[in-house]
Amino acid sequence: MGFSAKPEKELLIRWIVDALWRTLVHYGYWLKEVEYQYGMDVALEMEKEVGETSLAIQLKRISKLLNIELHNGIPAVLYRMDENKLEELLDALCLNWLANDGVWFQAVETKFGILDAKRCNDTCWTRFSPYEACHIKTLLNLPEQGGLEVLKTALQFRLYARINKQEIVEDKSDSFVFRMVDCRVQASRRLKGLEDYPCKSIGIIEYRTFAGTIDSRIQTECLGCPPDPPRPEWYCAWRFSLL
C-alpha cells in the first residue's frame, strides 16, 4: 500500500520527525556542557533526574496525542509483547546503536581521515563508557563500590553484550579476566579481508572508565587487543583486579 501526501503535509510530517531529532541532539548538548562546566561525576548524577523527568514529560504528552496507553510511564504495548519479541527488540536497538557509532566514524574518516576519526572515537568513549556504567547501576540498582561481583553483573548489561560473545575466565577472589570471544566489528573486517581495527587505545579508555565508574578501586589491565598479535580464542582480553 503506497502513501502520498500534499507537499504541505509531507513537510509537516518531516518537521515532526526532525523535531524529535533536534530534541535528542539538544539533550546531548546539555549533558556535554554540564559535564564541561562541572565535571563528569556531577553531570552523570544530574542526568539521572533530568533524564527520568524529561522522558516522563515527553511520553505523557505524545502518548495522549497518539492515543498510546502507558503503564508505569512506559508504552503498554511493551508489556503485552512476549519475552522473545522483547529480546528481538532489545537486540535491534543495540545493533542500531552500533550502526550509529559506525556511521559517525565513517563520516569523519571520509572527510578528515582515519586518524581524526579514531581520535573522535576515543574521546567519545571517555564520555559514553562511564555514562553507560552509570545507567546500568541505576537500571539494576547496583550498590556503589560493589567490587568485582557487581562489575561482572554490569558487563552483562552493556549494549555490546547483546552484540558480541563474551566470557569471564580466571575468576579469582581478587581478580578475573574478561574476554571478547567474538567481536562483530572485527569479524566483519576479517570477512572483507581487512586487518583488525587497532582498537587497543579505545579499549583501555572504555574498560578502565567503565570499571572505575562501577567501583573506583578496580584496576584494569589489557592482556591483548588489536593491534597486538591476534589470538585464535579471543579478540581482546582484560584483567580486572580489586586492590
Residues 136-167: tens digit of each pLDDT: 999 999 999 999 999 999 999 999 999 999 99
Give the number of C-alpha atoms closer than 13 A to the C-alpha of residue 102, restricted to the C-beta side: 12
Q: What residues contact residue 63 under an 8 Å CB cut-off, 6+ apart?
A: 69, 70, 75
Residue 227: cis peptide before it, omega within 30 degrees of 0: yes
Cα 145 to chain centroid, rounded: 21
Q: H or E segment at 112?
A: helix 83-112
Query: How many C-beta atoms surround the C-beta of residue 131 within 10 A?
Result: 20
Q: For 180-238, what is each residue's pLDDT tens digit?
A: 999 999 999 999 998 999 999 999 999 999 999 999 999 999 999 999 998 999 999 99
pLDDT at position 85 is 97
| Residue 4 predicted with pLDDT over 90 | no
CA gap 132, 92 in Å, rounded: 18
**Percent of the chain having pLDDT more than 70?**
99
pLDDT at position 3 is 74
DSSP three-state, residue 16: helix
Angle at alpha carbon of residue 206, lines to 92 and 185, rounded to 5°? 45
CA distances 225 to 73, 109, 120, 187, 231, Å, are 42, 22, 19, 14, 9
pTM of the model: 0.90
| Closest C-alpha to 218, from 234, 240, 237 | 240
Angle at alpha carbon of residue 92, lines to 164 and 128, rounded to 5°? 65
Q: For 23-44, what is each residue's pLDDT tens digit?
A: 999 999 999 999 999 999 999 9
Please, what is the average pLDDT of the chain?
94
165: left (phi over 0), alpha (psi -120 to 50) or beta: beta
The DSSP annotation for 185-218 comes to: HHHHHHHTTPPPP--HHHHHHHHHHHHHHH-TTE
CA gap 151, 133 in Å, rounded: 9
Q: For 60-100, what is each residue's pLDDT tens digit?
A: 999 999 999 999 999 999 999 999 999 999 999 999 999 99
Letter for the amino acid at 109?
Answer: E
Q: For 184-195, what is each residue's pLDDT tens digit?
A: 999 999 999 989
DSSP three-state, residue 35: helix
CA gap 63, 95 in Å, rounded: 26
pLDDT at position 1 is 59
